[in-house]
Structure formats: structure tokens, C-alpha cells
Structure 1
Amino acid sequence: MANLKEIRNRISSVGSTMQITSAMKMVSAAKLKKAQDAITAMRPYSEKLTELLQNLSATLDSDTGSKYSDQREVKKVLVVAITSNRGLAGAFNSNVVKEAKQLAAQTYAGKQVDFMTLGKKGNDILKKSGTIYQNNNGIFDDLSFEATADIAEKLMELFANGSYDKIIIVYNHFKNAATQLVMKEQFLPILPPETSETSTSSADYIFEPSKEAIVEGLIPKSLKTQLFKALRDSVASEHGARMTAMHKATDNATELRDALKLQYNKARQAAITNEILEIVGGAEALAG
């Protein structure tokens, strides 16, 4: 009977876990819809703004180019790792951390590589294996363009004053609820546009007040938008990853509960059979 009690306790424990994982799945599903709509609406604007900026920057003379386009020898690199403040999202955080470590250990081996972490989970891991320049967990408490702009301006300042020669953003790109792709984007210096033989991007524009003034005005806005898009992508990916992880956890708990119930029924049947045998044996002994 002690064994039966232990199995009953395990069934109860698994049932409680199922309730938690199922509730977390529904919460993430509700949040995912809003986050997905936000990033889907923002992507076309962000991509077009980046394309316009690159095309305009490519037409500037090298001596009049922006300070944010300065291609210099890479000695110091800042990796901006965007994770989340909470776990229970499968490999969502570990994939970003793994990519950030790979950049430091392989891609930029021999260089000074520091990390800026946006999210508690990434900071908890990366601070053990590298230098954390800055950590900002509160950005996800109330994600807004204004808060993102402050971080982007700090990154632009770090590049412009020579503190870092290259700044890379690592984050999860939202593809769908079940798929998130780890992306690494060069934030600074600004990359020139990709040219090809079939490219038809050259167009006759009239610039007012001037091409240089327009580019200088677009660059800060484009960089802030790029970082904001990465953060929104990460938020949508987090909810999708957590919803998928909790769905799998609920399914696994259901299978475990069913297996425990079968085990309990077998043990209970065996116990009843033993009791019947004992009663029959006792009756036969008295009759003899």
C-alpha cells in the first residue's frame, strides 16, 4: 500500500505541473498574437528605410561619408545579445548565448570582445565567460521606441568615439510560433548596399536640402529602428518559443500521468489479488 501512496502522490504532482504548463501555454499564445502583429507591421517599414539609407550612402563620396560608415581595422567588438528576462522557453535563450560565444571565440578570436546584454538570462550566463559592458533588463518591462532609442544612441556614441570598431546584434528572428532563427546583424559600421548585375536601384532623385543632410538625418532614425525591430522580433520569438515549449511539456506530462495511472491500477490490482489469496488461504486453513 505504501507503493500505491507514492504513485498517487506522483500522479497528483504531475497533474499540478500540467495545470501550470497549460496555463503558461495559453498566456503565451495570447501575448504572441499581439507581438506577432507588431513585428509583422513594422518589418516593411524597417526594411525599406534600411534600403533607402544604404542606397543614399553608396552615392556619397568617401570623404563626405557618415562617421557611422567608417570601415576601420577591427580591434574591439561589442556583441549586443538580446535574450529574455524569463526562462521556460526551450532553447530560445541558449541559442543566442551560444551564437554570442561563438562570435567571441571563433569569428573574432584574438580581438577584444565585450557583451551588452538586453535580458536577464543572457546576462546571467555571459557574465561568467566574458566582459559585460552593460546590462539592461528593464527594457522589456515596457518596451517602447523611446527606451530603445536611448540604447541605440549609446551604441552610436561608442562607435563614433572609437570605443568599439564593430557592433553586432544577436537575436531571435520570428518566423512562426514553432520556428525562431538566430540572427546576427552588423549594427555599426553601416554596411554598403549589395550590388549585383541585375540591380536597378540607381534612380534620379532630387534632394532637398542636400543628399548629405538627408543621410545624416536618416542614419540615427534607421539605426534606432533596426534595434527596435530586433527587440520586437525577440519578444515575438520568446512568446512563440515558450508556447511551443509549454505545449510539449503539457503533452509529456499527459503521457507521464497516463503511464502512472496504468502503473497504479496494476499495483492496485496486484494488491487486491494478494489480499484475496490471503483470505482464501486463511479460509482453507480454518476449513482444514
Structure 2
Amino acid sequence: MANLKEVKERINSVSSTQQITKAMKMVAAAKLRRAQEKIVQMRPYSQKLTSILNNISSGAEGVADIAYAQERSVANVLIVPITSDKGLCGAFNSNVIKASNVVIQDHEGKAITVMPIGKKAMDFFKKQEYPLIFEYAGLFENITFDPIKAAAEFVMDAFVNGEYDHVVLVYNQFKNVATQLVVKEQFLPISKIESEGDDNKSQQDYIVEPSRDYIIEELVPNSLKIQFYKAILDSNASEHGARMTAMSKATDNAADLLKDLKLVYNRTRQAAITNEILEIVAGANALEGK
């Protein structure tokens, strides 16, 4: 049985850890509230803009040559895994890395390039054999539209110039505090809605002014930048939700461990007291025997 000093040190250590996890849970909750507001406000706008874009581009029928929708024989693939800069958020980062490896396996035999966003993805992929684009790994240091737009423009220009034939975003999509879904999203080329006969839900007839070509030329780049921005916001909200959940579980586990340690401490203390009493009684009996 452990001695009292060891058990007491363990109790103090677990108590300190519990205070840290409880504080990190509160910080994550505060950050989550702001991050959740941003993605909730952005998501309807992004979805509607993408829907309009897909409908217009699908109805173009060759009128407009959309550079970002060109489907080529896939030889060069760019994968953009989006993780966090920090850990202590459960399987948040490892799930993205696993999904990225699945995408790499799906494109076996192709030239793979990785553009990691977030220090955790950067730390993992810099140990791998794939070429890296590391200029945008620190986007989470300043989550504003301008630096994220620059990253999106870099990817879009590289696709148009033929450097990459297929671009995939891998990130956690925020559902709620306890649920984040790993998404493997085709960023480029943009997908088109195929005609489904008389189904007006998928195809809508828009009145386009001044012209379809002009609207597509203006709308497509902006829609792609918004889509990239939404992925970053989704990942940011998911990170704080995952960290809040992980720290909540860690705090609960620490409480259970403290309960067990205090029980061990009390039993050890009682055993020590009993031994002392027995030694005193034995000493008294020995003196009486003389």
C-alpha cells in the first residue's frame, strides 16, 4: 500500500490539473460563443451564394468559359488540411490528419502537394515526403477575411495556371458543441448541378443583369473565397467545441480520480494509525512482562 506522502502528493497534483482543465473549459466556452456566432451568420450566406453560382454556371451551357470549373485529367492534387494551432482538443486534429491520409490514398499515383493550415497539420506533414506550401499555416493567428482571401486566391490562381488539377479541403464542420464532422470537400474544380428534368428545386431560372458572363466572372471568385473562409470559420468553431468537450471530460475524470485517491488516503491513514496503536500495545505488554 502506498504511503501517506505519496498519496497526498498525487491528490495535490490531480487537484492542480483539475483547476487547469476547468479554467481551459471556461476559456473555450467563451471563445466558442464568438466563433459559433460567426459561422452561424456566415453559413446561410455561403450556402445561398453557392447555390446561385451552381445554378447559373450549370445553365451557362458553354456561354461562359469558367476557368475554375475546368475538369482536367487529374495528375497534380493539392490537399488543404485545416487543423488547430494548439492541442488538448480530443481527436479534433488527428481526425483531420487521418482523413487527409485517406484522400492521399484515394489519389495514389498522383503528384500530391499539401498546403497545411494550422500548426498541428504543419508539424505532421513536414515529417512526410510530400511537398509543402507553408506560407499560410498561421492563418488562425488572425482570423479575418483578408489573409484568408489571400490564401484562397493563391489556390485559385494555381489551379487556373494548371499547377493543380484537383483541390480538396479537409476540415471539421461544426454541428454543435459535442459534434464535429470531418469533411472532405472538393474546392476546385467547382462542381456543377446536373439537370434533373422538371425538378425546379435544383434548377432555378434567374434574370441576370447586365449579362450571365459578367455575373459569373464576378460571382465565381467571390463565392470560392467565401467558401474557403467558411471552412476556416467552421474549423475554428469546431476546435473550441472539441476543446470545451475534452476539458469537461478531463475535469470530470479528475473529480472521479480524486474521489478514489481520497478513499485510498483515508484507508492508508487508518492503517497507519492502527499499526501505531498495535506497536504501543505491544510495547506496553512487553514492559508489563518484565
Q: TM-score by structure 2 length?
A: 0.95
Tell me, in whole angstroms, the C-alpha distance in 2 between the residues paired with 1:254 and 1:198: 60
Matched AA of 2:146: E
Give the corresponding residue for 2:111. 112
Give the corresponding residue for 1:35. 35
Give the corresponding residue for 1:82. 82
Give the corresponding residue for 1:280. 281
Secondary structure of the residue that 2:116 maps to in structure 1?
Answer: strand
Deviation per residue, 1:19-67 (Å, 9 max, x gap): 0000000000111111111111111100000010011101123363211
Give the corresponding residue for 1:244. 245
Question: Could you tell me how far 1:136 is from its partner in structure 2?
Answer: 2.3
CA 1:125 to 1:142, structure 2 compared with 1: closer, same or farther past 3 Å?
Answer: same
Say yes or no: does 1:15 pair with 2:15. yes
Give the corresponding residue for 1:185. 185
Equivalent residues, number: 287
Gaps of 5+ in 1: none
Work out whether residues 68 and 188 of structure 1, in 8 Å CA contact, stay in contact via their aligned partners in 2: yes
Give the corresponding residue for 2:231. 230
Matched ranges for 1:160-171 at <5 A:
160-171=160-171
Give the corresponding residue for 1:24. 24
Secondary structure of the residue that 1:62 maps to in structure 2?
Answer: coil
Matched AA of 1:5: K
Work out whether residues 119 and 135 of structure 1, in 8 Å CA contact, stay in contact via their aligned partners in 2: no
Secondary structure of the residue that 1:134 maps to in structure 2?
Answer: coil
Once the two structures are overlaid, the 10-residue window that deviates more, 188-197 or 256-265, is 188-197
Question: Could you tell me how far 1:135 is from its partner in structure 2?
Answer: 4.4
Gaps of 5+ in 2: none
Deviation per residue, 1:198-254 (Å, 9 max, x gap): 620444433222101100100110000000000000000000000000001111111
Matched AA of 1:109: E
Tell me, in whole angstroms, the C-alpha distance in 1 between the residues paired with 2:182 and 2:203: 32
Matched AA of 2:119: K
Question: Could you tell me how far 1:197 is from its partner in structure 2?
Answer: 5.0
Give the corresponding residue for 1:44. 44
Percent pairwise identity: 54
Q: TM-score by structure 1 length?
A: 0.96
Tell me, in whole angstroms, the C-alpha distance in 2 between the residues paired with 1:242 and 1:117: 20
Give the corresponding residue for 1:206. 207
Question: Could you tell me how far 1:2 is from its partner in structure 2?
Answer: 7.8
Give the corresponding residue for 1:261. 262
Once the two structures are overlaid, the 10-residue window that deviates more, 18-27 or 126-135, is 126-135
Once the two structures are overlaid, the 10-residue window that deviates more, 228-237 or 201-210, is 201-210
